[in-house]
Chains A and B, each alone.
Chain A
């Protein structure tokens, strides 16, 4: 195809991307160096570093930062542990049945964050499903507090983002040559041994890809921590929302978002390089 024609066909989408996607990001950078004038949406346009220095002046931001990362790490590890048994089960099915089950396991994502959150809310409430069940069986005396705790938020995040791990993991499990399992078995390896020395190393690239997606999604999640945390669990997403929508301090929320995304970008980049290393090592050893 001629270059001229390509540009003509690409132009509408490109224009939309520049206007709606690229320009807002540039504006975010520009605004982060301006000064907030309380009560107005128009900021003082003179250049300042103040929004960034403010981030380091107060331990409060560090606390939010640390809590966000802690919740994301715990949730990602939980997703990793839970996704292996299910992914192995899914990859052992025949293609038709697997398709149906893969569709069922993506429902937490396509159903939307709101429906998942509402379901958890009904279950985790003070006298909700789980507490009334446990009270009814006399397992507990007083209702357990789930809402407004980190545990509640983590439960919600793990459930919502499991599909993100399952998809790449199943495809990397399916790519493993069946004969490797057969030879491992013939050589007398027991299933746990096969799992740790065949399945895990060979599916590590898929697991890593999934883990990066889940980690990013947890770091920047907003609906789950806000609804299940009930305003008590302040993380990056909820604090950014508070500053941008409730306080309307757009210059500060811009610098906050940029700082967060740049520092996380470095972590994710490092994880990506690690994932690439895993892939290379795997090919080198075979």
Chain B
């Protein structure tokens, strides 16, 4: 009996957690502008307008470019660090690891207040490179954590064997170590992309007016003009892509174990 009660409760809680996403999907097809329930009728009008709307397409383009660049930067500095720290027998290791993980503890909004002043001093406020560096900082902790987790599964004997057979350290890294830590790299890449792509806080503080990402655009519109069905359709489309990627990542790499 208790088991069934708990099951029913769980489904209700799950429904509550997913309610906003479900409502976004349902309303993206709702012909009423006012999000009434039950819906007035079925329409693809909002999606058609989305395809014709250059503003949103541009904002999504900027977000994609930004997320892609931030992930590349985070991976290219994060993987070597994770690898070196893993192989280093020194008491300083945990200090450096703590440094790289610190963005997870310190609230983004406090950092953003410092960052806006710093960027304005350096002339980086509103610049693309400024956004990329800031987002890379919040992605690096995940790269370090996930790559280190994959390194724990790596059999060190294989690396030794490769070295004994005459492979250079560089060759060993690329043909033995790298394939072993691939899941960590892919998962932190996907997760990092989503973090950057959906970030509002850091981007609203430092984005300026030239590089307005899609979530910032949505935020500003929601605050000034209220909810627009067109924005709902855009969000539904983006959420759909995110769900597909998340389920694929779970199916092929069981990513939920790492997160």
Contacts and interface: CB of A to CB of B under 8 A. Distances in A.
B6 A127 contact: no
A211 B255 CA distance: 23
Q: Give the bracket for the number of chain B residues in contact with chain A.
A: 35 or more
A160 to B, nearest CB: 9
B175 interface: no
B114 A27 contact: yes
B227 A111 contact: no
B90 A119 contact: no
B51 interface: no
Contacts of A24: 111, 114-115, 117-118
B34 interface: yes
Contacts of A26: 114
A223 B223 CA distance: 10
A184 interface: no
Given A118-B20, A122-B232, A227-B222, A13 B227 contact: no
A107 B13 contact: no
A192 B3 CA distance: 11
A108 B34 contact: no
Interface stretch (A1-9, A47-55, A277-285): A1-9
B181 to A, nearest CB: 14
B19 A118 contact: no
Contacts of B84: 1, 5-6, 9-10
Nearest to B231: A118
Interface in A1-33: 1, 3, 5-6, 9-10, 12-14, 16-17, 19-21, 23-28, 31
A110 B246 CA distance: 9
A102 B10 CA distance: 13
B114 A28 contact: yes
The 7 closest A-B pairs by CB, nearest first: A119-B20, A112-B198, A24-B114, A28-B114, A220-B107, A89-B10, A9-B84
Interface of B: 2-3, 6-7, 9-10, 13-14, 16-24, 27, 34-38, 73, 76-78, 80-81, 83-85, 87-88, 90, 96, 99-100, 102-103, 105-118, 120-121, 133-134, 136-137, 140, 191, 194, 197-201, 204-205, 215, 218-219, 222-223, 226-227, 231-232, 235, 238-239, 242-243, 246-247, 249-250, 254-257, 259
Interface of A: 1, 3, 5-6, 9-10, 12-14, 16-17, 19-21, 23-28, 31, 41, 82-83, 85-86, 88-90, 98-100, 102-108, 110-123, 125, 127-130, 132-133, 136, 159, 162-163, 167, 191-192, 216, 219-220, 222-223, 226-227, 231, 236-237, 240-241, 244-245, 250, 253-254, 257-258, 260-261
Given A9-B80, A115-B235, 10 more contacts: A12-B81, A83-B13, A107-B18, A120-B20, A121-B227, A136-B38, A162-B13, A241-B109, A245-B205, A250-B113
